[in-house]
Structure 1
C-alpha cells in the first residue's frame, strides 16, 4: 500500500470514528429563562440578529466562556449569553396542528390541540414508542408524537 493510500485510509477511518461519535452523542437541549437576543458572534459587539422568546427550546452546540452557540428551532446557529439558559426542558410544535392525546396511542382521546410554534413543557418520562409526554402552561397534559415537535 502506498503512503498516499495509507494516509487516505487513515483519514477515512478517523472521519468515520468522529461521525459515529457525533451520531451517538445525545443532543443537549435547554430552554430560555428569559427573552434573549441572538448574535452572530460570541460578544455583545457582535451583530444582534433577533430576539427569541422565553421558554423556547434551543440546542447547545458550542460553549465559550459566558457564551453559547445554539441551534434555534428554525435551524440557524447563533450565539447567546449562557446566563439566559434554563435547565427546564421544552419542545416546540413543528406540525401545522398537533393533537395531544390522553395516552400514547393514536386511538386515545384528544386532550387538546396545539398550533405550530406553541411551546410545551417536556414531561418527566423519556420519549417512548414515538411519543413524548408534554404539559401546556394552562396545566393540560398528554402525549404527542415526537415527529410533531422539535427540542428532543
Structure 2
C-alpha cells in the first residue's frame, strides 16, 4: 500500500511538472520577448505595444514601481496585440529604401531595405503594419502606409539637402519642433508641397517638413566651394527673422544688414549698404552663380543699387524682404526680381 501511494504521488508529481513545462512552452510560443533599453519605462513599453499596463506587470511579476535595467527581458502578452487579418494580397513598396522589421513596431530589428516597386506577398495585417514575404522568401513587417495594392506608376520625385545641414520639422513652419537634422546630400522623397515647404519621406519611414530653400530637386547637388557652403549654412539660420530698417541682428534686419550679419559670423566686415557692397569682391556672370554669391537689384525703392541677397542655388536666393516683412527665399525668375536684377559679386572668405 505504501509503495502504491508513493508511486501515485510520483506520477502526480510528473504530471504536475509536465503541466508547468507545457504551460511555459505555450506562453513562450504566444508571447513576444522584448529587451529593455536605456530610458525605457513600463508605461512606455505598454503603450508602445498596446498592452494594458496591469497585464504587462502581471505576466512579468512586476509592480508599478519596479525598476527596469538595460538588457532585461520582458514578456509582451500576445492576448493584447491587435488581431491580425489573415487576408493575403499582392503588394508593392511605394517608397525608396523601406525598412523591413522583425516586429510590427519601429522598435523591431531592421532586417532589410526594400527598394521602391518591390513586389511582396501580404501575409497578414497587424494593426497599422503588414506582415509580408519578400521575393527572396524573407518574412517581416512593413508600415502599412508605405505599401500599395498596385505598382508605383513612376519614380517619386526626390530632393537632396543643399546646405551643410538642414532640419526636418514636424510641421510646415519654422516654429515647428525639429524632427531630425540631415547632412548635406541626404536624399528624401518629396510627398507634397505647401506654402514654401515640402512634405518629405525619410528612409526610416518617418514623414516631416523641410523648407524648399534647403533642398535641391532632381539630382544630387554638386559640392559648392567650402566658403559658399558656409555662407549658405549661416544664412539659412535666419529664415523668418523680422525685417527692420537699419537692423543687422537676429531681432530684425534689413537687406544689407542681413548680408553684414552673415559675413560677420565668418569674420568678414562688410559695409551696411547694398550700393557699397556692390563694390566688394569680384563680378560674377548670372550663368556662373554659385551658392554664397551676393545678388543685387536696382531701382527698387530708390534709383541705383538698392537691394541685395545671397544666392542659394537652383535659381533661389535668400534676403531680408521689405515686401515679405522677414528674411525669406525667393526666385531670381520671379518677374519683379528678374526685371530689377543688376548683377552679382563673389566675396572671398580667405
TM-score if structure 1 supplies the norm length? 0.42
> Which one scores higher on RCO, CA 8 angstroms, separation ≥ 6?
1
- Higher-Rg member (1/2): 2
